[in-house]
Amino acid sequence: MDKATAVREADDRHLWHPWSPLDSHGERLVLTEGRGSHVRDDRGRTFLDLRAGTLNATVGYSHPRVVQALGEQAGRLMTWDLAEVTTPPAAELAQRIASLLPPPLGRTLFCNSGSEATEAALKIARMWHGIEGCIERTVVLSYADGYHGATAAAIATTAASFRREGSGPLPDGYAHLATPRCAACASGTGHARCLVPGAAEWEEQILAIGPENIAAVLVEPVLSVGGVIVPPPGRLLDLRKLCDRYGMLLIVDEVATGFGRTGRTFGFEHDLTGPVAPDIVTTSKGLTGGYAPLAAVTVREDIYSAFARDRLLGGLRHGHTTGGHATACAAALAVLDVIEEEGLVAAAADRGTQLLTMLSVLNGCEEVRDVRGRGLMIGVEMSSVEMAARVSGVAQEAGVLVRGFGPVLTVAPPLTVSEDEAAHGAGVLIEAVRATNRAVVRS
């Protein structure tokens, strides 16, 4: 039996794939290598990756700078538990993250995944309120269509039945704000009478719950899994003002948007500037560019300092053995170097404008409901889940990979994607949508 056949057989017999139907094994690609913005499968076919893996391959595949950093650190000291010691990569990365965020966001706790970062951020928020003498502040508010991970508390932060059903009983202490979604505003066309949920409606919800019971508001600057929903300008600033008014912490989930994805270093920077900032920021995917598992929870210095008054420890009673894994941190430092030295944040803004302009022609297709996005995070919303799956399949056959979740196709290539690659990928996707649309009309 050759290696490729053995791998497929092992996959069919033993591997449980997440977020995937059990009968789809035979349809899977077996990816074996990648370089730049392309990946190759076990049959020798090459694909342009317009999904950056799962929005995490920010500097592309096999980047020599990152590969070298991984090897050097693994050969020196792969890691050590940060509870009792420190390592140079972890300390340097925490400092680097602080330099990218506005003060007083300056203290970072490392985790392994975006879901873990959510759990840690919520725990920190509730424990901080307790230390400050507000033990009744336990409720967390989040957008109904948001997504913050697959662990128990993270699932409780979304109202989406697809992600919640069957996971109960879920933890108490969660409520959901109406998602600020408006196709016209999100597409940038705007209109005179916008009915998108905003400050007034959210304030009613806050008052109904009782602000004295609320610990934090947790939101994404751009909703990723929820359908690449771009809130209209000012909505995050509205939440910042409500948090200040009622003593709640603002937690911004930058797991999918952080480190250049939206054309700014952080997605919140489109709405919050200067000294106006979140209280807690969570990051993951783009932090290591997909080269190693790592996540970060960065908090205000005064939130960190308050934990000296924790009566049981005098510190944070939370952590993971491999949180802040030294080799992962070394990879992250190399990724951040690449992003800075290759100007990838500005490149994401430019390539995002290019892709959004090209893909906007699809708004005239009958089976397309909307095309929207920010930077290199673009959503093409189809008329149904089935239509999105068909288009994704046609594009794959033509050598281009996009991410389909529900009825929305996500176009989010590595930040290193070239102008020619972006144009080619957009052209393939446009033709895939039109071909699928024609097939539906003929049927």
Residue range 61-93, pLDDT digits in tens: 999 999 999 999 999 999 999 999 999 999 999
CATH fold of 66-341 = Aspartate Aminotransferase; domain 2 (3.40.640)
pLDDT given for residue 195 in this prediction: 61
Residue 27: pLDDT band with limits 50, 70, 90: confident
Q: How far apart are CA 417 and CA 48, in angstroms?
A: 9
How do the domains of the chain map onto residue ranges? Answer: 3-59+343-442, 66-341
- Residue where the block lists tokens 């989040």: 142
- CA 104 to mean position of chain CA atoms: 23
Q: How far apart are CA 98 and CA 90, in angstroms?
A: 12
Task: Tell whether the model's pLDDT for residue 191 goes beyond 90.
Answer: no
Q: How far apart are CA 173 and CA 183, in angstroms?
A: 31
Q: What is the pLDDT of residues 213-256, one digit of tens each?
A: 999 999 999 999 999 999 999 999 999 999 999 999 999 999 99
Cis preceding-peptide flag for 278 (omega within 30 of 0): no
Which two tokens mark 151? 């662990």
pLDDT given for residue 189 in this prediction: 45
Q: How far apart are CA 349 and CA 344, in angstroms?
A: 9
Which two tokens mark 157? 């932060």
pLDDT given for residue 196 in this prediction: 80
Q: What is the pLDDT of residues 292-326, one digit of tens each?
A: 999 999 999 999 999 999 999 999 999 999 999 99
Task: Tell whether the model's pLDDT for residue 187 goes beyond 70.
Answer: no
Max avg pLDDT among 64-73, 156-165, 180-189: 64-73
Q: How far apart are CA 377 and CA 375, in angstroms?
A: 5
Residue 332: pLDDT band with limits 50, 70, 90: very high
Backbone angles phi, psi at 252, to 5 degrees: -110, 125
Q: In sequence order, which residues have a C-beta less than 8 Å from that of residue 408 and are 6 or more positions away?
A: 227, 228, 379, 380, 381, 382, 388
Angle, helices 326-341/64-76, rounded to nearest 10 degrees: 150
pTM: 0.95
Specify the DSSP class assigned to residue 170. P
Do 257 and 229 contact (CB within 8 A), yes or no?
no
Of the candidates 173, 256, 174, 262, the one whose C-alpha atom is nearest the C-alpha of residue 220 is: 256
In 260-308, which ranges are continuous DSSP H helix?
A: 285-288, 301-306
Do 415 and 336 contact (CB within 8 A), yes or no?
no
Cα distances (Å, whole numbers) of residue 371 to 49, 110, 410: 19, 35, 10
Residue range 3-59+343-442 in CATH 3.90.1150.10: yes
pLDDT given for residue 237 in this prediction: 97
